[in-house]
Copies of this chain bind each other. A is one copy, B any other.
Amino acid sequence: MPELNLNDIAARLESLEETIIHRLIDRAQWRLNDNAYLQGASGFPGAEQRSLFELRLHSQEEMDAKFGRFCVPEERPFNRDLPKPLRAVSLPDTGVNLKDYDTVNLTEPLLNSYMLILPKICLAGDDGQYGSSVEHDVYAIQAIARRVHYGAIYVAESKFRQDPEGYKKLVETRNRDGLMERLTRKDVEKKIIERVKTKVKNLQAKVNKSIRNTVRYEPIIVYYRDLLIPLTKHGEIVYLFNRVENDSVQN
């Protein structure tokens, strides 16, 4: 079983954070384009129940499923009716203790919260570029989901290993508040928020504003503070409950 060093995990989370910011900036190059999110407005025959965004996300995940993306513990699809991989994906032992990855699934709140941040990063209005808008939505939301599920699973597993008995007891007594307290590191959260702010500014510092829309850092740090970080911790608790139950079944 691989060693899961909390510093390595934090470094990977920081790299994913960079990707998320790149992709939100890319999405913001188009207008909000409400029509792309309206059910029945996609123009796809026979797809009256879905928006263009939903259709794009589904198509992307169909393709990704065939290529084996969802064999990776931190990749969680937003859709359920997906094909099996067409290739064998062999991963090294990840160290993750989860029989069914889908037990840690935060896609629904992630989707809802993405829709809330969109009007805060995109200019209002309609530029007709619905295809490009939803293409970049999908890239952004995949990066966000990867970050939150990666954090939930790997941070929880790594912390559990530091004190298995302590975490077992908290789970067995169903002490969610106690778990939340142990999983919360205010200083780390504060550092993440500061870093996100700096990254959003740095990545756009030298940009030519007459040709690129820029994104303010405020909505992105609120998104991190009020949604992504709490959702990650919620996922950590779900992971720990499942991990301890797996262990009891095995023993």
Are A18 and B212 in contact, with the CB atoms below 8 A? yes
A26 to B139, CA, bound (A): 12
A15's contact among B29, B44, B128, B203, by CB below 8 Å, is which? B29
Residues of B within 8 A of A67 (CB): 52, 55-56, 59, 131, 134-135
Report the count of interface residues on A (CB-CB < 8 A). 48
Are B26 and A19 in contact, with the CB atoms below 8 A? yes
A-B contact pairs, 29 of them (CB 8 A): A11-B210, A11-B211, A12-B211, A14-B211, A15-B212, A18-B207, A18-B212, A19-B26, A22-B26, A42-B87, A43-B86, A43-B87, A44-B86, A45-B86, A55-B67, A59-B63, A59-B66, A60-B63, A63-B63, A64-B135, A67-B131, A67-B135, A68-B131, A69-B131, A91-B128, A92-B128, A139-B139, A202-B206, A203-B203
A208 at the interface (CB under 8 A from B): yes
Residues of B within 8 A of A202 (CB): 205-206
A188 at the interface (CB under 8 A from B): no
Copy number of this protein in the oligomer? Answer: 2
Closest-by-CB residue of B relative to A15 is B211
Closest-by-CB residue of B relative to A11 is B211
A24 to B55, CA, bound (A): 27
A195 to B68, CA, bound (A): 38
A89 at the interface (CB under 8 A from B): yes
Most buried by B among A60, A63, A69, A198: A63
A249 at the interface (CB under 8 A from B): no
